[in-house]
């Protein structure tokens, strides 16, 4: 049972890597100097906080009791709850979150299949106009809409566009 679960996750990650490589080959990603912008406000959201003495472009999130970091983001302006997942190659949205973000179901082309912990799912590649967490915005983010997903994932297509991120002592620190 554990081996089957692990194998599904490995296959999901491999499928997402292949999809992201294909999207990168088509030029779907902007250069980082044009892709990351930050506001000048120093507000602290309910899910993220500024660390005392931290540089101005830093947000810290605390993991929940299961060790997961779940945060509130805005995807194309729509509020979306996301699980930070360094094992996901792409930002991955549930169909419901994609709809809330302005992606009509009729626009989705499910042209790939991936194996997940929940079984095989169809996947539709998309590019998100903007993902915003607190005062950080990243534009033109490669992503996918995946059927049979319980929560949207903030994957590596977002995280690699940051200056850095680190998980230490139950806290995720994001810098840009």
Structural domains present in the chain: 2-175 (2.40.70.10)
Mean pLDDT calculated for residue range 137-154:
96
Through-space distance between the first and last CA atoms of the chain, rounded to whole angstroms? 40
pTM of the model: 0.71
Query: What pLDDT does 109 receive?
Result: 97
Query: What pLDDT does 44 receive?
Result: 33
Query: What pLDDT does 160 receive?
Result: 97
Q: Please, is 92 exposed, middle or buried when counting C-beta atoms within 10 Å of its C-beta (0-12, 13-18, 19+)? A: buried
Which of 76-80, 132-136, 146-150 has the lowest average pLDDT?
146-150
Position with higher pLDDT, 15 vs 114: 114
11 φψ region: left (φ > 0), alpha (ψ -120 to 50), beta (else): alpha
pLDDT per position as a tens digit, 18-60 = 444 444 333 333 333 334 444 433 333 335 655 556 567 999 9
Task: Give the strand pairing for 171-175 and 91-93.
Answer: unpaired
pLDDT per position as a tens digit, 64-118 = 999 999 999 999 999 999 999 999 999 999 999 999 999 999 999 999 998 877 7
Q: How many CA atoms lie within 13 Å of 67's alpha carbon, on the beta-carbon side?
A: 5
Query: What pLDDT does 75 receive?
Result: 98
DSSP letter at 47 equals S
Cα–Cα dist 126/76, whole Å: 12
In this structure, are residues 92 and 152 in contact, taking their beta carbons and an 8 Å threshold?
A: yes
- pLDDT greater than 70 at residue 11: no
In this structure, are residues 89 and 157 in contact, taking their beta carbons and an 8 Å threshold?
A: yes
């Amino acid at each position: 049972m554990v081996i089957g679960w692990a194998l599904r996750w490995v296959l999901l990650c491999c499928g997402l890597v292949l999809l992201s490589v294909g999207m990168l080959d088509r030029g779907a990603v902007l250069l980082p100097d044009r892709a990351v912008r930050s506001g000048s406000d120093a507000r602290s959201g309910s899910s993220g906080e500024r660390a005392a003495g931290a540089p101005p472009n830093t947000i810290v999130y605390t993991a929940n009791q299961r060790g997961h970091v779940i945060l509130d983001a805005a995807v194309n302006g729509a509020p979306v709850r996301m699980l930070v997942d360094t094992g996901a190659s792409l930002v991955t949205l549930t169909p419901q979150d994609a709809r809330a973000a302005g992606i009509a179901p009729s626009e989705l082309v499910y042209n790939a299949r991936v194996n997940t912990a929940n079984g095989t799912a169809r996947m539709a590649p998309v590019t998100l106009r903007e993902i915003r967490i607190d005062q950080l915005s990243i534009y033109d983010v490669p992503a996918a809409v995946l059927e049979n997903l319980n929560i949207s994932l903030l994957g590596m297509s977002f995280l690699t566009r940051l200056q850095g991120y680190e998980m230490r002592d139950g806290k995720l620190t994001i810098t840009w």
